[in-house]
Structure 1
Amino acid sequence: MYCKHHEPHVYPTKYCEDHHYSKSVVPHIHPQHTKKIDHHKYEHVHYYPHTYSHHKDVSHEHYHCGKPCKSYEKKSDYGHCY
């Protein structure tokens, strides 16, 4: 028996994928800073102590009218010369 060869049937190419994964680390740097601030408040309180005093002024005046009086002359009751 004799076999007759036929033309081959060629199908479209089937594409297969073979996935390979790799990993890269990309650093992202976000700098931060915390500043501690201490606050101190001075409260200046002013006081005004006050004292009170009382002074009574007394004065004396002496009048000499002429020469000293003899015992029979009357002296002025008010100390003034009249």
Structure 2
Amino acid sequence: MTESRTLPPEALNEWSAALAERFGLAEADIPIALILDLARDVANGVARPAAPLSAFVAGLVAGRAGGTPGDTAAAVAAVVEMARGWETP
């Protein structure tokens, strides 16, 4: 049986720093609060399992657009806008 692990908010900073180091990213490349807000809005507006999928898609869109912090913010804003207006078909 797998043990469930929940990170306290401050541990996200450590995890983010480790990811940045591993993949050669700058701290600004990983906007923790922006992504957590996206996850919250999608989980509440669509469904909980849609949150990680939506974060992946936002990252993919941002990367294809150029990968700047502005590209990330724009992709996240577009996903959040969709989630806030989502009505189950």
Q: Give the TM-score normalised by structure 1.
A: 0.14
Max radius of gyration: which structure?
Answer: 1
Structure (1 or 2) with the greater helix fraction: 2
Higher relative contact order (CA 8 A, sep 6+): 2
